[in-house]
Amino acid sequence: MVGEKVILRVRMGSGDAHYAGELVNGSKILDFFGDVATELCIRLDGDESLFRSYDSVDFLAPVYAGDYMEYHGWIEAVGTTSRKMKFEAYKVIELARDPILAPSAANVLKEPLLVGRASGTLVVQKHCQRGPQDHRFAASS
C-alpha cells in the first residue's frame, strides 16, 4: 500500500434510493469510490486524475436509504502515470426498519458490514503530477 487509506463517510439519502424498498443503486457506491480515488490522487500527485477503468466490482449486500456508509480506498501500486487502487464499502449504521419502533430508529452495527469492493486504475498525466500534497505519502511513494 502506498501512503495510507482514505475513508469517506456518507449517509445514503432518500434521493439515493432507486428501487422499491428504498434500495440504493450499486452505481452510487461506484460514485463514492471515484471520490475516494480522486482524494488519493490529490494527496499523492496534487491532481484529481482520470479514472481509466475498474478491473473488478463486487456488490455483496444491499444498501438502503438511511444507511451510513464508509468508503475506503488505498493505492496498491504506482506506475509512471497509472495508480492501481483498491476500494471497500462498509455499512456502519442502518435504519431499524421495525414496525414497532419509530421510523427514525437506527442501529449501529456491531461490526461494519462489507457491502462492496472494487479495484481499478487511475491515470495522472505526467505534466499534471506535482508530487505528494500529503506528508503521509511522501516517504512511501
Tens of pLDDT, residue by residue over 8-35, are 999 999 888 888 889 999 999 999 999 9
**Separation of alpha carbons 41 and 122, rounded Å:** 8
**Res 141 pLDDT > 50:** no
**Res 132 pLDDT > 90:** no
Question: Average pLDDT over the chain, rounded to whole?
Answer: 91
**Res 119 pLDDT > 60:** yes
Query: Which domain does 52 fall in, by range?
Result: 2-138
CATH of the domain at 82: 3.10.129.10
Using DSSP, state whether 74 is helix, strand or coil: strand
Cell numbers linked to 88 = 471497500
Closest CA to 71 of 134, 2, 10: 10
Structural domains in the chain (count): 1
* The predicted structure's pLDDT at residue 111: 97
